[in-house]
Amino acid sequence: MKNKRLLISVVDDDESIRESLPDLLREFGFTAKAFSSGEELLTSSELAQTSCLILDVAMPGMTGPDLQRELAIRQPGIPIIFITAQRDETLRPRLLKLGAIECLLKPFSEADLLKALNTAVRGD
């Protein structure tokens, strides 16, 4: 359980993702916190402790890429793993070019998520 101190923050407007993904992250040995919007994350005390961010691309209000740009100003250096249901082939390369660690298509496998997390927090 060497990941226990690492906080993974999940931002997704889908309640089922906000409920299930933190449970999976805890099974992987991380601490996890879910937020329903980018605005909620930005006003939280957890932002400063976040070791990695799992971020939905398409959300009402502030989108995932909007939040990525805001965090580059406020809290640079937080690795971001995007998750999306969008089947746009140009999206993943664009997000990676902007600095994301990975962009996973929903539904993604646990193995793919864990691999992206290991890259994000350990540089694997």
CATH class of the structural domain 7-122: alpha beta
CA distances 11 to 1, 36, 76, Å, are: 24, 6, 17
Residue-wise pLDDT for 77-95, tens only, equals 999 999 999 999 999 999 9
Angle of helix 110-122 versus helix 15-27 axis, rounded to 10: 70
So where are the chain's domains?
7-122
Residue-wise pLDDT for 20-67, tens only, equals 999 999 999 999 999 999 999 999 999 999 999 999 999 999 999 999
What is the average pLDDT across 105-122? Answer: 95
Q: pTM of the predicted model, to two decimals? A: 0.94
Pairing of strands 50-56, 102-105: unpaired
